[in-house]
Amino acid sequence: MRKMVAGIFALVIVITIFASCSTNISESPPTQARPNTEKTILRLACYYPDGFIIKAVYDFNRTNNDFEIEIVDYSQYPDIVTRLNTEIIAGNAPDMFAWGFGVLNPLDSGVYGQAGTLMNLYEFIDNDNDISRSIFLGNLLSSLENSDGALYEMPTEFVLRLFAGKTEVLGSKQGWTFEDYFDLLERFPDSTLPFGTLSWVEFFRLSVGNNYAIFLDWNKGECYFESEEFLRILEMGKTYYTAPIESILPIKLVMSDQQLLSSNGIGNVSSIQKFTALFGDEINYIGFPTSAGVGNCFIIRNSLSISSSSRHQDICWQFLKGLISFEAQMENVLVFPVNYEALSERVFNAPLYEEAGASLSYIDGDGDRWSVTFEDASPEESEAVMQLIESCDRVYRENRYILSIIEEEAPAYFSGIRTAEEAAHMIQSRVQIYMSEQSR
């Protein structure tokens, strides 16, 4: 009997910030015992806490006799970054941080790790007799490491973002350069929307977020937006700035050679069938163009950090450790686990955990509909998905402030007011100032 209906993980970014009245930031220390209980309170800072975190906190509080975790939802504050920074400076930092869905979260763990606010979680793993680094998906942890080799956040679940197209169009090699991309467009002059119907803003979020570690080094406090890689992304983005965006079925775009690639997130094995529905059986999961490597990426669904100022770091680690146990990791079949044993169980026995018959539907501006119905994952699909997961070497990140700078400066190049180099220089200067301010 299959356990849950497999949903399709749609990357719909809906940001709502709720205004709230000001609160005294020093009114509740990180580990203050509540007046009516003998338990010590640990504060967990969240940005829109989801069901996974809420359930984990409930289970912890129900079974622990000495400590209780209190969730503080920072989405209630108009300026989350200022609020959290002020608490840290005041000596009232939360004991733990749950970063939530990385695409939505306006906070960047790299900033706080570099500032010494977060603990290196490798120290807890290496000093724990019950676990070791080998129980995790190693390439995922490596892709989250700071440039000094520290791990400041522990992911609990992820989605794989893939970039793919027909093998007859892309060839069979894994990975490609920016030159390969532009050569492809020359061979297919009708490809006015190579990645489908994205706005130019969505395109930049996709391309910069997928190459976050290439452009930003929080450990050194440096950015690299005058690099050749970013200049090529600017050139790619110009296509989307001038292209008319209409609601067109992706299958129509693919059949007319207007769309050569598709970018989609998958959180279970059968979801990979959305690519075969578009492109047929011969598919190259080539990734986003990069100067090196294959540009598919992890999107972190949840991750946690431990504050360096918490007086109960050992208890925080026990809570975090529970989230990455095999049992906890097997609960959500709509995203992939980071525990390797749980991941292997889920991937190679996919039909036991994913229900066939789920569908994904598209409707265009003319009212035409196209849908994909998912079948039981085959052994070949399981093997392909595991290979894609194990070959991934990057994490998708977004920093809203940096993206807003790009969105303000890039149009000057698109409209011919500035050269690409001049636009990149303006972006570089403004982002560098921002990083310097954040690293103080």
- What is the CATH number for 137? 3.40.190.10
* Residue 218 placed within a domain: yes
Q: Is the pLDDT of residue 13 over 50?
A: no
| Predicted local confidence at residue 388, as pLDDT | 96
Q: 303 and 226 in one domain?
A: no
Q: 289 and 171 in one domain?
A: yes
CA distances in angstroms from 137 to 143, 157, 323, 338, 435, listed in the order given: 10, 11, 15, 6, 30
Q: What is the DSSP letter of 207?
A: H
> Distance between CA atoms of 46 and 29, rounded to whole angstroms?
17
Q: 183 and 154 in one domain?
A: no
For residue 245, the enclosing domain spans: 159-297+394-438
Q: 238 and 129 in one domain?
A: no
Q: 282 and 196 in one domain?
A: yes
How large is the average pLDDT for residues 228-232?
92
| Predicted local confidence at residue 24, as pLDDT | 35
Are β-strands 369-373 and 359-363 bridged in parallel, bridged antiparallel, or unpaired?
antiparallel
> Distance between CA atoms of 435 and 440, rounded to whole angstroms?
9
Element (H, E) at 284: strand 283-284
Largest CA distance in the chain: 72
* Residue 88 placed within a domain: yes
How large is the average pLDDT for residues 30-58?
78
* Residue 326 placed within a domain: yes
* Residue 374 placed within a domain: no
The mean-pLDDT minimum among 82-96, 100-114, 391-405, 423-437 falls in 100-114
Q: Comparing C-alpha atoms, which of 199, 202, 201, 223 is closest to residue 212?
A: 223
* Residue 261 placed within a domain: yes
Cβ proximity of 63 and 313 under 8 Å:
no
Q: 412 and 277 in one domain?
A: yes
> Distance between CA atoms of 84 and 16, rounded to whole angstroms?
18
Cβ proximity of 43 and 95 under 8 Å:
yes
Share of the chain above pLDDT 70, in %: 89
Q: What is the DSSP letter of 235?
A: H
Q: 146 and 201 in one domain?
A: no
Q: How confident is the model at residue 439 (pLDDT cuts 50, 70, 90)?
A: low
> Distance between CA atoms of 154 and 336, rounded to whole angstroms?
14
Residue 403 burial (10 A CB sphere; 0-12, 13-18, 19+): middle
How large is the average pLDDT for residues 178-206?
89
Q: 188 and 125 in one domain?
A: no
* Residue 417 placed within a domain: yes
Q: 315 and 195 in one domain?
A: no
The mean-pLDDT minimum among 25-29, 149-153, 341-345, 412-416 falls in 25-29
Place of tokens 């194990």: 390
* Residue 22 placed within a domain: no
Q: 321 and 178 in one domain?
A: no
> Distance between CA atoms of 303 and 99, rounded to whole angstroms?
6
Share of the chain above pLDDT 90, in %: 52
Place of tokens 């006015």: 192
Domain boundary among 313, 341, 369: 341
The mean-pLDDT minimum among 4-13, 242-251, 342-351 falls in 4-13
* Residue 268 placed within a domain: yes
Q: 292 and 430 in one domain?
A: yes
Q: What is residue 275's three-state secondary structure?
A: helix
Q: 167 and 113 in one domain?
A: no
Q: What is the pTM of this model?
A: 0.84
Domain boundary among 341, 358, 374: 341
Average pLDDT, the chain: 85
Contacts of residue 391, defined as CB under 8 A and 6 or more positions apart, other chains included, come to 139, 174, 294, 296
Q: How confident is the model at residue 135 (pLDDT cuts 50, 70, 90)?
A: very high
Residue 335 tokens read as: 């995203």
**In the chain, how many domains are there?**
2
